[in-house]
Chains A and B, each alone.
Chain A
Amino acid sequence: MRGLTRRTFLAGASATAAGVAVGPWVLRSAAQGAPVKIGLVLPYTGVYAVLGESITQGMELVFARENWTVAGRKVEMIREDDEMKPPVGIRKTEKLIDSDNVDILTGPVHSGILMGMRDKVHNSKTILIVSNAGADAISRERCSRWIFRTSFSNWQPNQPMGGWVANHVAKEVFITAPNYQAGKDQLGAFKETFVPAGGKLVGEDYPKLGETDYAPYLTKIKQSGAKAVYAFFSGTDAVNFVKQYDDFGLKQSIKLTGAGFLTEPDVLPAQGKSALGVITGHFYTPQLDSPTNRKFVADFKAKFANKTPDGFACQGYDTAEVIVRALKAVNGNTKDKDKLVDAIARVEFDSPRGRFRFDPKTHNVIQPFIYVREVKEVSGGLDNVPIDKIANVTDPGTGCTLPA
C-alpha cells in the first residue's frame, strides 16, 4: 500500500517537473502557428450537463467541418466544468485566462457565473463569446467591448411574447417564474408589451428554483380567473411545472404559454403529452424550414447519434461559426485583439435561426426572429412547431456605451 502511494507520488512529481520544463516552450510557440485555444466554461455535470453538451456539440460540428484548422492554425477546445456554481465557474475562468492563456473564451450557461466572470474578462481584455447565459445587464450597464453574446438576452424571447399573448391568446394572464434574477428579468420583459396591449395581470408568483411541488401555485392559478398563464421555467422545474399543470386539469381551461425554455428538447421527452399545445417564444426550433437549418439538423443528427439539435446546439454552432469567420478575417492573427474584436463585431452569416449579426451598440445578437411555437406531434415525437414570428428583436441596451 505504502509502495503504491510512493510510486503514485513519484509519477505525479515527474509529470509536474515535465510540465514545468515544457511550459516556456509552449508559451514561445504560441506566437507562431500554435493552436488557437478556445476555453469553454460550461456545466458538464448535474442536470444542466445536457445544455453544456449541446452547446459543445454545436461547436464541434463547425470545427469538424473546418478539419479543426482555421486560417492555418489548429483549433483546440479546452473544456472546464463549471458545475453551475458561480465560485467554480469563476475559478475555472481564471484558470483558462491565467494559466491556459486562451485566445477566446465561451460559455457559461448560468447568469450568475457570467456576472461573476465579467470583470475578470473585461480587465484582462479576454474575448468572451457568451453562448447561453441571458443576464440582461451584460448587454446593458455591464456591457464590455470584449464581450459578445450569440445566445440571447433574457429580454429578447419574452418581450415580443407579451403583445402576442395579449392579442392572440388572452388578456387575463397569470405569470410565474422561479425566484431568481433571470426569472424576474424574463417576466419583466413580458410585461413591457403585455400591459400596453391591453393585458391584465391577474396574479404572479415566484416559486423557488428547484421546486418539486407546484400544487399550491396551480390551485391559486385556478382560483385567479386567469384565461392564460405565461411561465418561464427550465430544466427539472419545466418538467415538473408542465406535468403538474396538466395533472391538475388546468391545461384544458387555461392556455399555457411561456419562454421557449419551458418546452425545449432537453425537457420535452420527460414532459410527454402534458406539453401538447403549450405555446412558447424562442429564437430557434429544429422545425424551421430553411436550407441552412435543414442542413444543420441533418448534419447534427448524422454526427451525434441521431440527436435532434436544440436551441443550445444552435447557440454553440453560431458561436463556433463566429469564431471561424472572424479568425479567417484576421488571417489567424489572435495577437492583435482590437482587430479580432472588430472582426467579430462585423461577422454576418446565415445561421440555422436566420441571418446572424451582432448589434454594434451592445455586441449582443440581433435575433432575426422570435418564433412563436406550439408543441405538436410530428414524425418522431413531439416538437415545437412555428406558428408565427416577430422579426429583428434587438435588446434595448439601455445604459451600454461601447467605445466606438
Chain B
Amino acid sequence: MFVPDFFGQALNGLSYGVLLFLLSVGLTLIFGMLDVVNLAHGSFYMLGAYAGLATIGATGNFWLALVVAPLAVGVIGAVMERLVLRPLYVRSPLDQVLLTFGFIYLFEDLVKWIWGGRIRSIPPPDLFSRSVKIFGATVPSYRLFVIVFGLVVALLLWLLIERTRLGSVIRAGVFDAEMAAGLGINIPLVFTSVFAFGAALGGLSGVIAGPIQSASPPMGAGILIPALIVVVVGGLGSLKGSLVGSLIIGQAETFGKAWLPGASMLMIYVVMALVVLARPQGLFGRPLR
C-alpha cells in the first residue's frame, strides 16, 4: 500500500519537475546569457500552446506542432529582441523588467483578440493517449514521454552549450562581449539568436504542457512564479541548476500535496527560502558579486 503510493508520487513529482524544467530553462538561459530577466517568458509558453493549437487545428498532427510552434515563437522572440529589447541593454535592469512585464499583457490581449478567451486544450498524440501501470502505479503514458523528452532536451542543451563551437561562441560573447567582438564575433547576432532560442524553448514547453494542462490567455502569467522560483533555487543562469531546481521543486510540491495537503501551497516557498538562506546564489549559481 505504502510503497506503490511512494513510487507513484515520486513519478508524479518527476513528470511535474521535468515540465517545470522545460518551462524555466528558456528563462534561465536568457538570463544567464543576456542578463535580462524576461518576465514575458510565460507569454512565450502561452504563445507556444496557441501556435501548437493552431497547427494541430490545421493539420491534426501533434508532432508537427512540436516543431512549428517553437519556430514561430522563436521568430516572435527574435523580433522582440531586435526591435524593443536591444535599445534597453544600456539602461538599468528595471527598465527591462518593466518592458517585459508589459509584454505579458500585450501578448495576452493579442491571443485573446485572435483566438478568444475560451479555455482550450491540446489532445495528446494517439501514441501516448493511454495510461500504463508501472510497479502498481498508474501513469498516463504521455507523462512518461514528457519525462524522457525533457531529459533528452536537457542533455542536448548541455552538449550544445558546453561541447560545440557555437556554444563556445555564445559563452565567449556572454563572458566578455567587447573582447569577443574584437575576435570577429557578431555579438548583436549572438544576442538575438540566444533570445530567440530561449523564446523557442518557452514555446516548446507550451506545446508539451498542452495535453496535460489547459490553454487560456492568462496561462502565461500563471506559470511565471513557479518558473522564477525554479531559477532562484537552481541558480540564476545555470542550466544544471535549472534542471536540479525543477526536479527538487517538482518532488517537494508533489509530496507536499500528497502528504501535507494543508501546507502544500507553502512547500515550494519553504524550499526556496531554505536554499536562499544556505546559498544565496542558488544551488548552481555563480557567486554573487
A-side residues, CB < 8 A to B, are: 45-47, 49-50, 179, 205-208, 210, 212-213, 215-217, 219-220, 222-223, 235-236, 239-240, 243-244, 247-250, 266-267, 269-272
Contact = CB atoms under 8 A, between A and B. Distances in A.
B216 A236 contact: yes
B93 interface: no
A322 B123 CA distance: 42
Contacts of B130: 249
Nearest to B226: A212
Q: Could you say which interface size class chain B belongs to?
A: 35 or more
B255 to A, nearest CB: 8
A213 B264 contact: no
B140 A247 contact: yes
B214 A236 contact: yes
B258 A47 contact: no
B113 to A, nearest CB: 12
A57 B212 CA distance: 32
A281 to B, nearest CB: 22
Contacts of B131: 247-249
B118 interface: yes
B167 interface: no
Nearest to A211: B257
Contacts of A205: 261
Given A215-B254, A223-B5, A235-B119, A47 B16 contact: no
A47 B116 CA distance: 10
A55 B287 CA distance: 55
B188 interface: no
B90 interface: no
A206 B123 contact: no
B222 A216 contact: no
A47 B261 contact: no
A327 B223 CA distance: 48
B171 interface: no
B120 A270 contact: yes
Interface centre among B9, B119, B123, B223 (most CB of A within 10 A): B119
A220 B1 CA distance: 11
A248 B1 CA distance: 18
B222 A248 contact: no
A248 B216 contact: no
A146 to B, nearest CB: 32
7 contacts: A50-B119, A212-B212, A213-B254, A219-B137, A219-B138, A220-B258, A272-B121
B225 to A, nearest CB: 11
A47 B218 contact: yes
B127 to A, nearest CB: 14
A223 B12 CA distance: 14
Given A215-B12, A249-B131, A210 B222 contact: yes
Contacts of A206: 261
Dominant SS among interface residues on chain A: helix
Contacts of A216: 9, 12-13, 254-255, 257-258
A223 B1 contact: yes
B119 A266 contact: yes
Contacts of B140: 244, 247-249
A46 B139 contact: no
Contacts of A239: 119, 121, 214
Interface centre among B118, B124, B138, B257 (most CB of A within 10 A): B257
Contacts of B118: 50, 266, 269-270
Contact of A243 (B214, B257, B258): B214
Interface centre among B124, B138, B255 (most CB of A within 10 A): B138
A268 to B, nearest CB: 10
B213 interface: yes
A247 B119 contact: no
Nearest to B258: A216
Given A216-B257, A223-B1, A47 B117 contact: yes
Contacts of A271: 121
Contacts of A236: 119, 213-214, 216, 219
Interface string B211-238: 0111011110011000000000000000
Contact of A215 (B16, B121, B218, B222): B16
B205 interface: no
Contacts of A217: 257-258
Contact of A240 (B123, B213, B261): B213
